[in-house]
Amino acid sequence: MRKNMNFSISENESARFLHNQVRKTYYEAPKAIEYDDENILAIEDDPAKELVVQKNPTDEDSTTISLPSPYHGNQLSMASTLSEYDEAKNLRGEFQKGLLSSVYDVKSYINAVKEDRKAIKLRPSAAASINAQIEKKRMEIHALMTEMKGTFSNIGRELKESFSELRANLGESKMQLQEVLGFDDAVKGFDLELVTDDNIDFLDIYAQFLGEEYFKMKENYQRAIATMSELFMLENERARMSAPIEYEQLCEQYDSNVIQRATAVHDTYIVQQGKSRDMYMERLALEFKENSTLQKADLDLIDAYLEHKRWFKQRSKALYRDWERDKKELRDKTVKMIEEEVEETKSRLMKDLELYRMESKKEKKHYKLEEKRKDYEEKMRIINEIEADKKRYEQEEQREKDRIAKMRAEEQKQLAQNFKQERAKLSAYEREQRERRDEEERERVMEQLRRNKDKIDEIQRKEMEKYEQLYQQKEMRQREGEIKQERLDKAVEKYAFRPQVEGDFDRLIAETTAREIRKVTVSDAADNVQLFKNPGYTTDGLMKDIRFKVSTALAEAGLQGTSYGQELLRGLGSKPEKSILI
């Protein structure tokens, strides 16, 4: 929701914001607009989302604007809107003049008190009457400051109430405005919830320090914002008017079904899938192949309109982002300049107070020091209130940003939950399909087993015989190991005598005789000659033999030990090829 609203003391919402918002909606909506000197024709893209701007030819100042649903039935008069804006501007000017008058009254009272205190030095005899006048003026200053404080409190309360009411009124139209503006696509660096707040009314409390200078700076800032808005609308309108054909003219030349089909092909191939233009034009020509009335020039015209519509939407978003960025920079510079001016005024005030303190020390007058101390405390209290208001405003702004961030986090969390649910559904569906396929495969295997039961029984019988033979051979090998161990044990018992030999470590690590001979032997070419060749087999050589290939295939199929496999091997050649030997 936008927050850059302007308020006056007696207004509930800013007429200027409503006027700019309607104009921006009118110019940014991706619809065809036809202009005429006498009438502004209706804009129609979707019957459920219609923005109609009509001008009464008989009344030059009467213009009505109908916003999209849910605004049907609520028509706004442009003339009344402008008159309300002028009235609000006049009320704001009167308030500024009254505020300046109050500030000048306070300054005049302070100057009068200074003159009276100087008069005490010149006429000590009249000090009592002058002090009475000073006390009276001090009471008047206090009353005036109290009145100003109450006025500012009322203004702040009215601003908060008006802002809350406006947000409530605009809350219902948030989604409709967002849809009409065309910001439903994800755009990097832009968020409709975080648009720039160009309102600096929260700095009005500084007017009592800066006076007319503050209102001049604020007026210049508002003029700059208005100029930037006009430039933005002008650039947006210039981009819109560069369309090759208006929407109404396109509807008159071609049937709505043709436009909708062409739009669907364009959105599918260009916007969503990012296909090449050649492929897109081929698909567009194929779509209207049966329509003999549409020529290549017609398809090019429709394509040019759709491309301009897509470009205009991107251009509007880019212009809006630049506009918001420039407004933010201008607002930050203005706020910084006003705050620096306030700091300078505060510094001058502190210097004046320090000068007064030095004078009171020199004059040895305790009551002057007491008065200046009270004056200093009052001014510091006002400054502290200003800083507290500023800090409170920053906290409210931070809370608003935190709320928006939390809302976006909840949306992301909801999207993640939806994705998990969809993924769980997909996993369940895939698991169900896999179980169904496994069940079908199991039934097929069982059917195959039932058909091959006799063969399987025969194979199992032969396998059991082989297993029994292997088991007997294993027992024989184990028994041979036991017999060998018994012979070794008996041999150890026979040769129990062990000769006693002294250890010689040098002899143990010395080179053997063969090793020493090998070191001194010099090899020649005859030593490296290969005297004979060791024949052997390789995988590639073995696979050249058809009997080996067939035997391997039968083994993989489990048919090597069957009668069929044996007959097949007997039918092949009995001798391997000589080429398989290395």
Is the sign of the CA dihedral 34, 40, 41, 43 positive or negative?
A: positive
**Spatial separation of the C-alpha atoms in residues 49 and 52, rounded to whole Å:** 10
pLDDT at 192: 41
- Token code pair at residue 23: 């104009």
Q: Where are the alpha helices (DSSP H) in 267-295?
A: 277-287
Closest listed residue to residue 316, CA positions, set 30, 43, 46: 30
**Spatial separation of the C-alpha atoms in residues 374 and 153, rounded to whole Å:** 23
pLDDT at 539: 76
Instruction: Please name the helix (run of DSSP H) or strand (run of DSSP E) that holds residue 344, with its range, or none.
Output: helix 296-363
**Spatial separation of the C-alpha atoms in residues 329 and 272, rounded to whole Å:** 35
Phi-psi region of 75 (alpha: psi -120 to 50; beta: other; left: phi over 0): beta
Amino acid identity of residue 516, one-letter, is E
Looking up tokens 């000073």 gives 134
Which residues on adjacent β-strands are paired with residue 43? 51
pLDDT at 180: 42
Amino acid identity of residue 85, one-letter, is Y
- Compute the radius of gyration of the chain from its Cα atoms: 49
Instruction: Please name the helix (run of DSSP H) or strand (run of DSSP E) that holds residue 65, with its range, or none.
Output: strand 63-66
> Residues 24, 238, 307, CA angle at the centre, nearest 5°?
95
Count the Cβ atoms, other than its own, within 10 Å of residue 340. 10
Looking up tokens 């992301």 gives 412
Backbone angles phi, psi at 49, to 5 degrees: -130, 95
Instruction: Please name the helix (run of DSSP H) or strand (run of DSSP E) that holds residue 45, with its range, or none.
Output: strand 43-46
DSSP 30: S
Peptide bond between residue 576 and the one before it cis (omega within 30 degrees of 0): no
Considering the entire predicted model, what is its pTM? Answer: 0.30
pLDDT at 176: 46
Closest listed residue to residue 321, CA positions, set 426, 188, 425: 188
pLDDT at 51: 35
Beta strand pairing call for 75-77 and 49-55: unpaired
pLDDT at 119: 74
pLDDT at 268: 75
Helix (H, G, I), strand (E, B) or coil at 230: helix
pLDDT at 102: 65
**Spatial separation of the C-alpha atoms in residues 281 and 266, rounded to whole Å:** 9
CB distance 181 to 324 below 8 Å: no
**Spatial separation of the C-alpha atoms in residues 295 and 232, rounded to whole Å:** 38
pLDDT at 92: 65
pLDDT digits (tens, 9 = 90+) for 456-472: 788 888 888 888 888 88
CB distance 536 to 582 below 8 Å: yes
Helix (H, G, I), strand (E, B) or coil at 255: coil
Domain ranges across the chain: 15-254+294-364, 388-451, 454-480, 535-582
Closest listed residue to residue 200, CA positions, set 12, 475, 377, 7: 7
Could you tell me the end-to-end alpha-carbon distance of the chain, in angstroms, rounded to an integer? 86
CB distance 18 to 76 below 8 Å: yes
Kindly report the three-state secondary structure assignment for every residue of 380-435. HHHHHHHHHHHHHHHHHHHHHHHHHHHHHHHHHHHHHHHHHHHHHHHHHHHHHHHH
Which residues on adjacent β-strands are paired with residue 55? 63
| 21 Cβ contact list (under 8 Å, min separation 6) | 2, 177
pLDDT at 500: 64
pLDDT at 177: 44
pLDDT at 160: 66
Render each residue's pLDDT in the chain as its tens digit; 582 residues.
333 333 333 333 333 443 344 344 333 333 333 333 333 333 333 333 333 333 333 343 333 333 333 333 333 344 454 565 566 666 666 666 666 666 666 667 677 777 777 777 777 777 777 777 777 777 777 777 777 777 767 776 776 676 666 666 555 444 444 444 444 433 333 344 344 556 666 666 666 666 677 788 878 888 888 888 888 888 888 887 877 777 777 787 777 777 778 788 777 766 656 667 777 777 777 777 777 677 778 778 878 888 888 888 888 888 888 878 888 888 888 888 877 877 777 777 777 777 766 766 666 666 777 777 888 888 888 888 888 888 888 889 899 999 998 898 898 889 888 888 988 889 889 989 989 998 898 888 888 877 777 787 888 888 888 888 888 888 888 888 788 888 888 777 766 655 666 777 888 888 888 888 888 877 776 666 666 666 667 777 778 888 888 888 888 888 888 888 888 888 876 554 444 444
Give the number of C-alpha atoms closer than 13 A to the C-alpha of residue 147, restricted to the C-beta side: 13
DSSP 52: E
